[in-house]
Structure 1
Amino acid sequence: MRTECEKCKTSTPPEGEASICSYECTFCVPCTSGMNHRCPNCGGELVARPKRVG
C-alpha cells in the first residue's frame, strides 16, 4: 500500500483516506477530485482505497 499521493506527495497512511485505480496508483482525496476521479497513468476510475486494519 503506497504511503504518499503520486501527484502532490502528501502522506496517505494506511488508516487514512486515499483513492486508488485498478493498478493501485494512489492519490489523496483533493488530487482525486481535481482529476475528476480518473487516474492520469492508466485512465481508469479512482475509487476509495480500502483501509487496512491491524
Structure 2
Amino acid sequence: MEIRPNCENCNKPLPYDSEEAMICTFDCTFCADCVTGILEDVCPNCGGNFERRPIRPKSLLKKYPISKKAVLNPIKKATFEEKKRQLKPIAPADR
C-alpha cells in the first residue's frame, strides 16, 4: 500500500496516521469529506467503493516509507455526475 499523502480531489493533506483517508481497491486516495459529499462512495477512477485507509504503524515508517508522490486529479463534475448516477444504485461488488 502506497499511503498517498493527499486527497486526489481537494488536495487536503492526509498523513500516514489520518483517520480521514479513504481508499478504493487501487489505492485511489480521497478525504472522507470528498467521499461522502461529492463522490458518494463511487471512485471516479475505477467505479469501486471506498474503505477507511489503515494507519501504518509509526515504527514501520522507516522500513516501509509512505509515498511522497501527491496525486491531484480534481473531479470533473459534469462527467462524474453521469458515471455516479449509473454506478451508485449498483452494489460495489457488481459494478
Q: Normalized against structure 2, the TM-score is what?
A: 0.55
Whichever of the two has the greater Rg, that structure is 2
Q: Quick check: 1:50 aligned with 2:54?
A: yes
Note the residue ranges of structure 1 that are not aligned, 5 or more in a row.
Answer: none
CA distance in 2, matches of 1:8, 1:44: 19
1:42 to partner: Cα distance: 0.4
Partner of 1:27: 30
1:33 to partner: Cα distance: 0.4
Identity of aligned residues (%): 44
Partner of 2:8: 6
CA distance in 1, matches of 2:4, 2:31: 11
User: Which protein has the bigger helix share?
Assistant: 2
CA RMSD of aligned residues (A): 0.7
CA distance in 2, matches of 1:38, 1:52: 24
Stretches (4+) displaced over 2 A? none
Q: Normalized against structure 1, the TM-score is what?
A: 0.93
